Structures are given as C-alpha cells and as structure tokens.
Chains A and B, each alone.
Chain A
C-alpha cells in the first residue's frame, strides 16, 4: 500500500532526525504537520512509527521505508537540478512534489539515468537503491563527464555534449571521437588527456562536455 504524501513527509523528517542526526525521537511540534493529522495513524498502523507523549519514534520496521522515501526525495532534487535545470527554492519545491511519483520502480530508472548519484544538491548522502548496488557489483560506472575520472584512469569516449558545434568539430578534429580510448593524465591546473599517441590540454569547461564510459 502506498503511503500518503503527508505520511511520507513525516517519515522523511523522522528518518533524517534519527538516522542522520542521531536523535532518539522527533518532537511532534517540529515535524510541521499537526499532531491530529490522520497520517500519523496511517504510519502507526503500519508500525513504522510510534507516537508517545508528543514525541515520534522510528520503529525498526519503518527504517527501510524511511530510507526509500529520503532516497526518492534526494533523487528528485538531483533530477530538478541536473536534468531540468531548475535550481534554488523553486527546485526544492518542485522536488518535494515530484518525489511522490518516484515509486514502483520509477526511482530505479531515474537513478540509472542520473548515473546513480551519491549525494543530493545540498551535499547530503542519497541512500543506495538496489539499482546502485547492482551497478556497483557489475563495475558498471555508466557514462560520466571526463571531470569525474581520476588521473591515470582510462575510458572510452561515449559522446560529446556541447551546444557549440564549432567546438565539437574542433574536439573531433583533435581525435576526441566516440569509441576512441581516452586516458586522463592530469586534472589540475588543466585537464590533460591522451588519445592515441597525442596529448591534449583542455580547461574544465571543455572537460565537462566530454562523456566517458569507464
């Protein structure tokens, strides 16, 4: 049974308080949802939480569900920022609405599309889903910008994403073509990479536009 949106919000707040901040419980007044709201009953019924003396406790049964809700929330935030380019408060608000749609396998798809991100735009950890664990087990790191590689890591150029067609031509003329092997040699102060027997230096902005499959 799918939880209501409000129930998800409560669970999220509680999970963050308990699992990330190490608190034992959450004061019901600080949840932001009135104590007489039916969603508390909904959660209690599933024995995810327990409400005692105005305090909300997370029951062991609720831990996994809490983890999933926070994961969906943070994935939604990443989606807003990385793909839809909606930032700031606007992004946060939209993410709050969006997260509730990310269940029944949609979260795994979004997560794969975002290449299994590990942190949300605010720098908090995104709990791993099954898809992340599976990808990790297979060693499939997906397609990442060159900036994500470490020095001396090698990969295959997957595609070049640039709005500027001249730049793409230049890159291609230099041998940066999908399918070619690329070895990142250095990342600072400029990116240096090797394709074939030639070495090239580019700045960070250009390195962001070369996508590599490891």
Chain B
C-alpha cells in the first residue's frame, strides 16, 4: 500500500544532474520497504503482509557525497514474472537500467531465495545481496557465514536486520563504494548450457540483460521478452523464434522443473558450510500463537475476540462514541461553532456569504465539523486497529481461515485484505483490489465493496444512530450480511471464469512495533483527510448554492415521491443528497434527523440500509473508474443504486407486513 509516498522529483532532463539509480528487489515480505525508508527517509507503508507494495516507490538518498535515486519494487519470486506485481518489478530491471540492484532476502529462507540472486547475477546486473531479518534467523538458531557467502558469490553480501536498523550503514557504504565485484561464474548441466548457448548465440541486438538470461527467459516462454526480442532483432527474429520453439518442444516435459532443480543444486553447493541449521527447531511463542490462529476451533473464537475488541469496542465504542462525543459535541457544538458564528456575524455583514461558512450547510459548521468531529476520530481508531493487525501478520492467517467461505462468493482468501480494509475506507480498499489475481475476482470484490461493505465512518455513525432504536441494529446487520452473501453468490455464478487457486506465504507473527503502527496510521490518515476534506467542502458549497438558488427545494420535491415509496419522510432526501458526496456524510445527515426526532425506528432502519447500499462516495467511484475502467464502474454504479433502492423498498414492505420494529 505504497501510494502514500513523497513525490519524487523527476530529474534527468536538460542541465540536471542524472543520479545513479538503485533498485531494491526481492521476494514479497522480506523488508524491502523498510530498507527503502531507511535509505531515503521517505515513508512507504510497511506491512507484514506479502504483496503490499503494488506501486513502485521512488525516493532519493544521499550516501557519502553522491545522491542516488532509490526505487522500491513490488515483491518478485523470480526473474520470470507470473503476477502483475512481478511484471511491474521486472519491467524496471528490463527497461530502466538501474546502476545497482540490491537484492533483499530473508535469512531464514536463504536457500530458497538465493536462486533469484543467481538469476540476477546471470543477467549481468550489478547486484548487492542483503541477507535481511538476521535477528529472527538467529533467534531460531540459524548461523550464517556472511563472509564465506561473499567469497563464494563474488558480490557484496551484507547481513542485516533493517527493521532493527542493523546493517543499514554497511548497506549504504556498499552502495556508495560498489565497484562491480569479481563475481564467480556458475553453470548449469551440460545439456542446459548447450541449449542456452544455442539460443544466446542468435541474439544479436543489445539488451539490458545478458544474452544468457534472455535465452533462459525465452526458453521459459516469457511473452514480454519474446516481444522485446522480436522488436530488437528485426530480420533475425524469425530464425531465433523457430530455434526457441524447437528447443521448447524437445524439452516440453519438464523445462521449468529441470531449471529449478539445477538452480537448487547450485544453491545447495554454494551454501555448503555457509549455513548451519539448529539441531532442533525452536518453538517460539509466535509460532504457538500462529498455530492457534489458524486452527478453526481456536481461530474462529480468536477472530471474534479481535473483531469484538478491535472493531466494536475500540472503533465503535471508543472512536465513534467517546471521541466523537468529545470532539463533536463538546468541542464543536458547544464551543467552536457558537464562537465562529459570533465571529462571522461581526466580520461578515452579508447574510448569504455568512451562510456559506457558518450556516446550516456551512463549510465550517457542517463540512469541517463532519470531517473533523465525526469522521476523523472513527477513521483514526480504525486505522490504528488495522495497522496493528497488519503488522502482527494476522491477515494471511485470516485469509487461509476464510478461503473456503470466500470461494463460495467467487473470491479467494486473498480478498480478505481489501474486504477488511473496506470497513475502514472503501476507496482505499478498491485500490487494493488490484493485488487480487484475476480480473473476475477484482470485479467481484469491487462490487461487494461498493455495495455491502460500510466504511468505518459510515459504520460509526450508523452504529450510533441505530443503537438508539432497539432492534434496528440486528435488522440492519442481517440485511447487509444477507445482501453481501447473496450478491457475492450471484456474481460468482453470473461472471464467466473460474475462481483462482489460493496460495499464500505465512509470514511469522510479530509483535507490532509501536512507532511503525503510528507512522502508518498517520500516513493513512493524511491520505484520507486530503481525500475527504475537499469533498466535504465542495459538498457544503454545492448544498449552499442549492439552498440560495432554491434548486435544493426543487430537488427535494422531486425526490419526495421516491422517498415516500420506501416509507421515508421527505427530510431524508437531504441525507441522500449528502450521501451522494459521501455515504458517511449522508449517514451523518440521518443522525441530525434522528436527533430532531423525525424518524421512527422502521424508517431509520430502512434509511440506514438503503444509504449503506447506496452509491459509493464520489472518491470511490473515481477510483473504481481508474481501476476497473469506465464501463465496469458505471455498470456497478447503476446496479448498486437500483439495488439499494429496491432493497429499501423490499425491507420497508417486509417490516410493515411483519410488524417488526413498530
């Protein structure tokens, strides 16, 4: 989740110094982003969840006298990309020609991850190897001989624990003083080398990567490299392609496997004597806890405890209750608003202009009050909760726990992150859906987020609202749950394609670091606030315009029959118009109506359900458009609006007939 980042300056144009480029690469969840932060001082969200850096973060670092441009890439397992993130990462190596590649890997999995170092070296990329997370490896009893590994590979190798700031200075020095090293070549078996040489010999053009690496990628049917080679080779491409096809056909049985096994053997030999395993695997508290969270018998109760204390008590009771009461009621309503109204009465003589700032829909009295007084405390508490969970490594465990259930609605366990994040901010969550594997899964997740997942701001307001009408909360929750399941179930059947397979690496559970959680919460808050405040102000201005021009009254007039058809008083139209800007804004509008005692429990529930399902906020719609394309976004928007109205009507009729809540 690295869209919160400092803007990098684009240098390299005329008359500007071109800085040397350093690319950080490595498997997901090995600490690339932590290293990036340590090098640049910029902040990238770091989490204990594989695959969180979707975008490439760039920053600059001063090491010695020189300024380097550092770029943090999404996690990749091998030079041959499979997922979207890996493609992005590889693209950087293929086209950007970094002057240095820092391969970060996890000391505990040195044997597995070193295969990629070999691939990078084989591609003739200038590589520095960072053996990270040494602290946890040592705690497990692993002993790694870094100098010996350096000698064997012939490249700079640094043992580090970047999260503990260990080894960062050495890494900086190694980057600053990199001289190419004297890398030790390694080779595959005779037959493999022959095939590689045959293909590599036909490559005449000049490339960023070595002919050997390209030949191997061609033999593994890497489409992008095929395209690149076809473009570069021109005339000779035809002959080369038929040669590659011939080789692929000859080795069709098991090329990937052969290659992986050869690499495994090379790594095995390289590590002979470098790594010493503990005699007995040490059972840590973290691994015991981890086991409890993944067993259904203990995992499900743990999930409920987490949700109860995290969401209900902390976000709901403390954030939406105590904090909102403190800021909104005590600070704004009781002190700030009266004060600002008095002040403006003194300085702004024109009634209409005064209305704009401190009137019923005033920018300050309504826009800022909603944003700061109601939404901010709720969202802040949610993000603290979410960051804690994220850093502890709980999410991958939750993902495997719910995978079976999620498969029923066309998603895999992987989707648990966007869905849970959706309870914080649907807009952010919609962005994160891009980490899902297939387009189908992304569309289903986007739809469910748009429709049935209330964001924390909305959730907070609605919880507060409905808790005053007994029975309303259960009806609301059950309605939304049913709709979530129903639509997910339906979407899984209607949309063509299959649900992808689920696989996920489980990072070890860690105690979240207080500072990390705070910084993360802070950057998220910042992003969120920048996103919503302008919208709130815009909404206030538009509402004010609507009011002074009389259009507002007309609009409410138009909407009254619609409202009436689902049993709501015409005043709720205002809340729904608010809701167009942000759903929580609308819900906050209901709050005001309820405070005035204008609504019965039935009306309140129907309004809350309809509004929760209703059109996502403008920001979410824009992100949907950006991520899924205009046609999908519009289709989801129209469907959601109609479905929300339909559900409202149905619920109202249902409540009227059964006499529930009356």
B399 to chain A, nearest CB (A): 7
Q: Given A189-B402, A190-B401, A201-B504, 12 more contacts at CB 8 Å? A: A165-B256, A172-B256, A174-B505, A179-B264, A186-B291, A189-B296, A192-B294, A196-B108, A201-B396, A201-B413, A203-B502, A205-B501
> Across the interface, do A200 and B403 meet the contact criterion of CB distance under 8 Å?
no
> Across the interface, do A197 and B403 meet the contact criterion of CB distance under 8 Å?
no
B188 to chain A, nearest CB (A): 15
Interface centre among A168, A178, A192, A195 (most CB of B within 10 A): A192
From A201, which residue of chain B is reached at the shortest CB distance?
A: B400
A175 at the interface (CB under 8 A from B): yes
> Across the interface, do B501 and A177 meet the contact criterion of CB distance under 8 Å?
no
> Across the interface, do B400 and A192 meet the contact criterion of CB distance under 8 Å?
yes
Interface of B, secondary structure class, is helix
> Across the interface, do B82 and A175 meet the contact criterion of CB distance under 8 Å?
no
Knowing A179-B261, A201-B400, A203-B407, say if A173 contacts B78 (CB, 8 Å): yes
- One digit per residue, 1 when the CB lies within 8 angstroms of any chain A CB and 0 when it does not, for chain B 394-429 equals 001001111110010000110000000000000000
> Across the interface, do A203 and B501 meet the contact criterion of CB distance under 8 Å?
yes
B622 to chain A, nearest CB (A): 33
B482 to chain A, nearest CB (A): 22
B295 at the interface (CB under 8 A from A): yes
Interface centre among B77, B142, B403, B501 (most CB of A within 10 A): B501
From A180, which residue of chain B is reached at the shortest CB distance?
A: B264
User: Which listed residue, A173, A185, A188, touches B296 by the CB 8 Å rule?
Assistant: A188
The residues of A with any CB-CB pair to B shorter than 8 Å are 160, 165-175, 177-179, 185-186, 188-190, 192, 195-203, 205-206
B527-550: which residues lie under 8 A (CB-CB) from chain A? none
Knowing A166-B82, A177-B264, A190-B403, say if A197 contacts B109 (CB, 8 Å): yes
Contacts of A185 in B (CB 8 A): 291
Cα A168 to Cα B253 with chains together (Å): 13
Cα A170 to Cα B78 with chains together (Å): 9
A185 to chain B, nearest CB (A): 8
Contacts of B112 in A (CB 8 A): 174-175, 195-196, 198
Contacts of B551 in A (CB 8 A): none
B189-214: which residues lie under 8 A (CB-CB) from chain A? none
From B405, which residue of chain A is reached at the shortest CB distance?
A: A189
Contacts of B401 in A (CB 8 A): 189-190
Cα A110 to Cα B506 with chains together (Å): 39
B257 at the interface (CB under 8 A from A): yes
Cα A168 to Cα B109 with chains together (Å): 19
> Across the interface, do B503 and A171 meet the contact criterion of CB distance under 8 Å?
yes
Knowing A168-B256, A174-B77, A197-B108, say if A192 contacts B503 (CB, 8 Å): no
Contacts of A179 in B (CB 8 A): 261, 264
Contacts of B402 in A (CB 8 A): 189
> Across the interface, do B260 and A177 meet the contact criterion of CB distance under 8 Å?
yes
> Across the interface, do B260 and A172 meet the contact criterion of CB distance under 8 Å?
yes
From B404, which residue of chain A is reached at the shortest CB distance?
A: A189
Contacts of B109 in A (CB 8 A): 175, 196-198
Contacts of B506 in A (CB 8 A): 192, 198-201
> Across the interface, do B404 and A190 meet the contact criterion of CB distance under 8 Å?
yes
From A159, which residue of chain B is reached at the shortest CB distance?
A: B257
From A167, which residue of chain B is reached at the shortest CB distance?
A: B501
The residues of B with any CB-CB pair to A shorter than 8 Å are 77-78, 80, 82, 106, 108-109, 111-112, 137, 140, 142, 256-257, 260-261, 264, 290-291, 294-296, 396, 399-404, 407, 412-413, 501-506
From A202, which residue of chain B is reached at the shortest CB distance?
A: B503
> Across the interface, do B501 and A169 meet the contact criterion of CB distance under 8 Å?
no
A150 to chain B, nearest CB (A): 15
From B86, which residue of chain A is reached at the shortest CB distance?
A: A173
Cα A175 to Cα B78 with chains together (Å): 11
Cα A198 to Cα B506 with chains together (Å): 7
> Across the interface, do A206 and B501 meet the contact criterion of CB distance under 8 Å?
yes
Contacts of B140 in A (CB 8 A): 197
A3 to chain B, nearest CB (A): 41
Contacts of A169 in B (CB 8 A): 78, 80, 82, 256
Cα A146 to Cα B531 with chains together (Å): 48
Contacts of A160 in B (CB 8 A): 257
Knowing A165-B256, A190-B403, A196-B109, say if A202 contacts B296 (CB, 8 Å): no
Cα A200 to Cα B399 with chains together (Å): 12
Cα A184 to Cα B77 with chains together (Å): 22
Knowing A190-B404, A198-B109, say if A174 contacts B503 (CB, 8 Å): yes
Cα A172 to Cα B262 with chains together (Å): 12
Contacts of A203 in B (CB 8 A): 403-404, 407, 412, 501-503
Contacts of B504 in A (CB 8 A): 200-202
B404 to chain A, nearest CB (A): 5
Cα A169 to Cα B111 with chains together (Å): 17
> Across the interface, do B505 and A199 meet the contact criterion of CB distance under 8 Å?
yes
> Across the interface, do A202 and B294 meet the contact criterion of CB distance under 8 Å?
no
Contacts of A186 in B (CB 8 A): 291, 294-295
Contacts of B290 in A (CB 8 A): 199
Contacts of A174 in B (CB 8 A): 77, 112, 503, 505
From A209, which residue of chain B is reached at the shortest CB distance?
A: B501
> Across the interface, do A190 and B296 meet the contact criterion of CB distance under 8 Å?
no
The 8 A-B residue pairs with the shortest CB-CB distance, nearest first, are A173-B77, A201-B400, A197-B108, A175-B112, A190-B400, A199-B506, A203-B502, A202-B503
Can you pick out 7 interface pairs between chain A and chain B where the beta carbons lie within 8 Å of each other? Answer: A166-B82, A170-B82, A173-B82, A189-B404, A192-B506, A200-B504, A203-B404
Cα A189 to Cα B408 with chains together (Å): 14
A87 to chain B, nearest CB (A): 21
User: Which listed residue, B111, B294, B407, touches A196 by the CB 8 Å rule?
Assistant: B111
Cα A186 to Cα B404 with chains together (Å): 14
Contacts of B404 in A (CB 8 A): 189-190, 203
User: Which listed residue, B111, B142, B503, touches A170 by the CB 8 Å rule?
Assistant: B503
User: Which listed residue, B108, B142, B412, touches A198 by the CB 8 Å rule?
Assistant: B108
Contacts of A195 in B (CB 8 A): 112
Cα A174 to Cα B27 with chains together (Å): 9
Contacts of B264 in A (CB 8 A): 177, 179
Contacts of B400 in A (CB 8 A): 189-190, 192, 201
Contacts of A171 in B (CB 8 A): 503
Cα A137 to Cα B407 with chains together (Å): 42
> Across the interface, do A170 and B77 meet the contact criterion of CB distance under 8 Å?
yes
Cα A129 to Cα B211 with chains together (Å): 56
Contacts of A192 in B (CB 8 A): 294, 400, 506
B505 to chain A, nearest CB (A): 6
Contacts of A198 in B (CB 8 A): 106, 108-109, 112, 505-506
B411 to chain A, nearest CB (A): 12
Contacts of A178 in B (CB 8 A): 257, 261
Contacts of B106 in A (CB 8 A): 198
Contacts of B80 in A (CB 8 A): 169
B421 to chain A, nearest CB (A): 20
B247 to chain A, nearest CB (A): 16
Cα A167 to Cα B502 with chains together (Å): 10
Cα A197 to Cα B284 with chains together (Å): 13
Cα A198 to Cα B290 with chains together (Å): 13
Contacts of A170 in B (CB 8 A): 77, 82, 503
A182 to chain B, nearest CB (A): 13
Contacts of B413 in A (CB 8 A): 190, 201
From B27, which residue of chain A is reached at the shortest CB distance?
A: A173
User: Which listed residue, A175, A201, A205, A206, touches B399 by the CB 8 Å rule?
Assistant: A201
Interface centre among A165, A170, A199, A200 (most CB of B within 10 A): A199
From B300, which residue of chain A is reached at the shortest CB distance?
A: A189
A91 to chain B, nearest CB (A): 26
Contacts of B82 in A (CB 8 A): 166, 169-170, 173
